[in-house]
Structure formats: C-alpha cells, structure tokens
Amino acid sequence: MRSLFRSLRSGAGGHSGVALTLAKCVPFAITLVVVGIELSPLHFLYTGPMLTATPALAAVTMGPKGTTAAAAFALAVSVTTATYNQAWGTQLVYTNFLAVLVVSVAAVMGSSAVRTLREKELHQVRRIAVAAQEVLLRPVPARLGPVRAASMYLAAETGAQIGGDLYEAVQTRYGVRMIVGDVRGKGLPAVRAAAAVLGAFREAVHYEDDLVEVINHCAAALRREVALRGAVDQIVVLEGFVTALVAQVPDTHEIQLVNRGHPPPLVLRQGTVQALMPSSPLPPLGLEELIIGPSGKTDSYPFVPGDRLLLHTDGVIEARNRHGDFFSLPEAVEALYTRTPHEFLEQLHQGLIRHTDGHLADDVAMLLVDRLAEEAGEQSELP
C-alpha cells in the first residue's frame, strides 16, 4: 500500500514539474510568435499587447533572472522588428516600446520582491522544522551507561527535516532502553503518529520493568492518535500502524528485544554480522487484532563488550540503485567494523547516497550502540 501512495506522489510530482517547465516557456514562445509575425507579410497586425505581456507572464513562473531575460528578449524584439519594418517615428511604435519597458521594470522588481518574501518564509519554515526535529528526534547522547551510542536520521522528502521514522535511547534504572520505528504513511499524519509513539515510550521506559508493557503503552498511544485523527486524516486510518523494535541493554552481557513487525537489528561481533530474528513474529503497532495468543515476549541475545548493535528502519535495506539492486547492509556493516559510532553512521550514510545516486525513496533512521567493557562503562557515568 505504501508503494502505491509513493507511486501516486511521484506521478503527481512529475506532472507538476512538466507543467511548470511548459509554463516557463510560454513568454519566450509568445516573443517568437511576435518575431514571426513582424518578419512576415502579416507585419501589419498589431502585436504590441502580446509583447507587453511577455515580462508579466515571466514574473509569474520565473525568478528575477528569468524575468530579466524575458524582458530583455522582449525589448530586443521590439527594437529589432521596428527597425526591420522601418516603423520608427510613429507614435504606435514609441508607445509599444514604452509599454514593454515599463512592464519589464515592474515585472523584474515584483519578481525580486516576491522571491525575497518567499525566501524569508522558507527560512522561517526551516527554523520551525529544525526545532520540531530537536524535540521529536533529538540526537542520542554519546555515552549511555554501558554503551557508546550514535544516531542519524535522513528524510527522503527534499528539504524535509522530519518524517515517519523514529528513534530514541534512554538510560533508565533497568538499563539502556531504545526504540526504532517506522510509521506507514507520510506527511503530518505520520509525524503525529511518530510523536505519539515516542511520547509513550519516553514515559513508560522509566516505570515499566517489562519491555512488552513498554511497547504496549506505545501501541495504546498510537490507537488514541488514530482514533483522534481518523475522521480528519483518512491516510492515518488506511495506514495507521507502526513497525517498532524496543531494545534493552542491562548491566549483564545480553540484549533484550521485543520486535513488532520491524526489520531485525544487526549485531557485529569480531567482524561478523548476525541478524537478531524474533522467536515469534508479531504484527506492527496498530494491528493488535492480528495477534493470536500472548501479546509478545522478550527475546534475549548475547551482547558482550566489543559487540556493536545497529537498529535501523527499512529505508536502509530497501534503498535501490538505478539497476534495482538493494543496498547490501551486512556487507557495509562489516566493512566499517573499526570505525567509531559517529564515523560508522556517517560513512554508512555516504554509502547509501552513492548507492541511490542521492535519491532516497524512503526515510532512514539508524541507531548504533557499542557495548563497552565494565571499566569504560563505569568511567562514562562519572561527572
């Protein structure tokens, strides 16, 4: 279903781009029509209004540079055709030239003013988006108890700061608790769903000793959000579920996971990658009616000092190149074995960009933790 919506968005965006390109060509096409008329036996036709409209039309679809080019072209055509037809000295020619000049100046000034206003509005929107991202998807601390951590978020939408992927890592009395998730949907409904799940997680991790109960709180928060917004945003009703994975790193040498329909995390141990598959697959948050029997259990896996854990969304493993090949995450993880967490994620980011030629089809969220030795973990807790 998500692929269908993505295709529709891509098709709509492609049609809009073609329409805009054609609209930008209209002023120059009109000028060429005027040239054709004035240099033909039909030069007795009055083309002044057509030429005067050229810079005005350019100001609607182009910026100051494009408008200036269209205005200069119109003025050049006006002078050229008047000279060719030996029409200088008539009041009609001077009136036409003056009209083109006045409209051109007004169009260039108006286009510049609109561009300045739009740039200010865009800057303000970006500032708000950055502030929203800092609240919703704040970077995780570099040290959390027994682990060293790093995070990264990449939005697929051009110019976007936040989207439908989520992550968080919190140090609690039960250990370091983490979540990574992917909302099925786009736009503001997806952001609201992600905020609901993250808010529930950040609260529940501090008083629920069972990871299953933590993720159940997230599911309940999502159901409330869907019920609240369903009547307004039909997309939430259609795609009102979230794949999510919660993890816990206690003081013991293990990691505990509860997976609700999310891609399994990868553990890198001594240069070898292993996927931590759930013992009993469960549906995503929001699809609890599909659960038969217990609502889930916590799986435990070894996680010893020197191990590295990567939690990620499907935007990483589903990234394709121009030939349709998926990004090979295990190979990339093994190749970056010796890097620090920050360097690891940055180079993984660069690998994704190269693989997709800079065009991510989906949002990407990554959370990386290294299990430290007991001495390093104790030192990290000192002020």
Q: Provide the percentage of residues in the chain whose pLDDT is more than 70.
A: 64
Q: Does residue 249 form part of some domain? A: yes
Do 233 and 193 fall into the same domain?
A: yes
Q: pLDDT category, 48, cuts 50, 70, 90?
A: low
Do 361 and 328 fall into the same domain?
A: yes
Number of domains into which the chain is organized: 2
**Residue 236 pLDDT > 50:** no
**Residue 81 pLDDT > 50:** yes
Q: Does residue 325 form part of some domain? A: yes
Do 226 and 369 fall into the same domain?
A: yes
pTM: 0.65
Closest CA to 267 of 350, 337, 340: 337
Do 32 and 178 fall into the same domain?
A: no
Q: What are phi and psi of 146, to 5 degrees?
A: -85, 10
CA dihedral 7, 8, 10, 14 (to 10 degrees): 130
Q: Does residue 134 form part of some domain? A: no
The number of angstroms, rounded, from the C-alpha of 347 to the middle of its chain's C-alpha atoms is: 19
Do 278 and 374 fall into the same domain?
A: yes
Q: Does residue 119 form part of some domain? A: yes
Residues 27 and 57 sit within 8 Å (Cβ to Cβ): yes
**Residue 88 pLDDT > 80:** no
* CATH number of the structural domain spanning residue 200: 3.60.40.10
Report how far apart the first and last C-alpha atoms of the chain are (Å, whole number): 49
What ranges make up the beta strands (E) of 155-306?
165-172, 175-183, 242-249, 254-260, 266-269, 272-275, 299-302
Q: pLDDT category, 101, cuts 50, 70, 90?
A: confident
pLDDT of residue 288: 76
Q: Does residue 135 form part of some domain? A: no
**Residue 11 pLDDT > 50:** no
Q: What range defines the domain where residue 72 resides?
A: 2-129
CA–CA separation, 280 and 259 (whole Å): 9
Do 240 and 173 fall into the same domain?
A: yes
pLDDT digits (tens, 9 = 90+) for 51-61: 666 776 677 66
Of 60, 95, 129, the last residue of a domain is 129
Do 171 and 272 fall into the same domain?
A: yes
Of 89, 108, 129, the last residue of a domain is 129
pLDDT of residue 75: 72
Do 93 and 160 fall into the same domain?
A: no
Q: Does residue 355 form part of some domain? A: yes
What Å distances lie between residue 14 and 8, 9, 319, 322, CA to CA? Answer: 10, 9, 21, 18
Do 179 and 244 fall into the same domain?
A: yes
Q: Does residue 7 form part of some domain? A: yes
Q: Does residue 376 form part of some domain? A: yes
Do 112 and 229 fall into the same domain?
A: no
**Residue 109 pLDDT > 70:** yes
Do 106 and 159 fall into the same domain?
A: no
**Residue 380 pLDDT > 50:** no
Do 87 and 153 fall into the same domain?
A: no
CA–CA separation, 383 and 198 (whole Å): 28
Q: Which two tokens stand for residue 6?
A: 């993505």
Of 73, 95, 129, the last residue of a domain is 129
pLDDT digits (tens, 9 = 90+) for 260-316: 999 999 999 988 899 999 988 888 888 877 776 666 789 999 999 999 999 998 888
pLDDT digits (tens, 9 = 90+) for 123-136: 665 565 555 565 66
pLDDT of residue 287: 83
CA–CA separation, 151 and 311 (whole Å): 9
